[in-house]
């Protein structure tokens, strides 16, 4: 005759009280990047920018002729910062919300900042939510601490709220270049 098999009884154990620590912004960005990695080949993804040290805007070898290195530009050779910043702020916010491609603003920001905007653009496009209205720039307050350097605060109506954006720009190679940006 055949033997009868009995399953061992299920044992229920209490879960541990251990909880992981909260993730910071950089860790969350890495998780999003890892999650998107298998899909990059499907969408023709190319690395947004080379990650450089924030102090070095452009790496320049020691044997480079100084005339061919990035040149600081005095204020008198640059466009009016108030109107220029008004248009660029609107374009950056559109990039952050996934409406505009980030390569349209890449020329006017450091590679590290451009990479950050690219990540926000990818997250926004993945969510699939498009804003009902474009951002409205309410006010731009300019401060020029030195020749060719502008620090500004921009008051923005964005995603149904009034928000503040802090921007630092320097004159580089005949154009304004955004080196720091914070959106509150």
126 is written with which tokens? 């993945």
The pLDDT tens digits along the chain (184 residues) read 567 767 777 777 776 666 666 767 777 667 666 655 544 444 444 444 444 444 445 555 566 666 676 778 888 998 999 999 999 999 999 898 888 899 999 999 988 999 999 999 998 888 886 766 778 899 999 999 888 899 999 999 877 789 999 999 998 888 899 999 998 8
Tokens 């006017």 locate to 108
Domains annotated for the chain, with CATH where assigned, are: 69-183 (3.10.450)
pTM of this prediction? 0.62
- Separation CA 178–CA 168 (nearest Å): 6
Distance between the two ends of the chain, CA-based, in angstroms? 77
């Amino acid at each position: 005759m055949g033997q009868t098999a009995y399953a061992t009884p299920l044992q229920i154990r209490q879960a541990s009280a251990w909880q992981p620590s909260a993730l910071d912004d950089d860790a969350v960005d890495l998780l999003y990047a890892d999650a998107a990695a298998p899909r990059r080949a499907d969408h023709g993804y190319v690395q947004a920018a080379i990650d450089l040290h924030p102090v070095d805007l452009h790496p320049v070898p020691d044997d480079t002729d100084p005339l061919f290195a990035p040149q600081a530009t005095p204020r008198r050779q640059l466009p009016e910062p108030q109107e220029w910043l008004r248009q660029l702020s609107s374009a950056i916010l559109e990039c952050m919300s996934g409406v505009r491609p980030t390569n349209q603003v890449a020329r006017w920001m450091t590679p590290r900042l451009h990479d950050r905007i690219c990540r926000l653009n990818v997250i926004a496009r993945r969510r699939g939510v498009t804003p009902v209205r474009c951002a409205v720039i309410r006010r731009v307050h300019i401060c020029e601490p030195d020749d060719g350097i502008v620090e500004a605060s921009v008051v923005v109506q964005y995603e149904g709220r009034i928000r503040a954006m802090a921007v630092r720009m320097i004159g580089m190679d005949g154009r304004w270049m955004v080196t720091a940006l914070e959106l509150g």
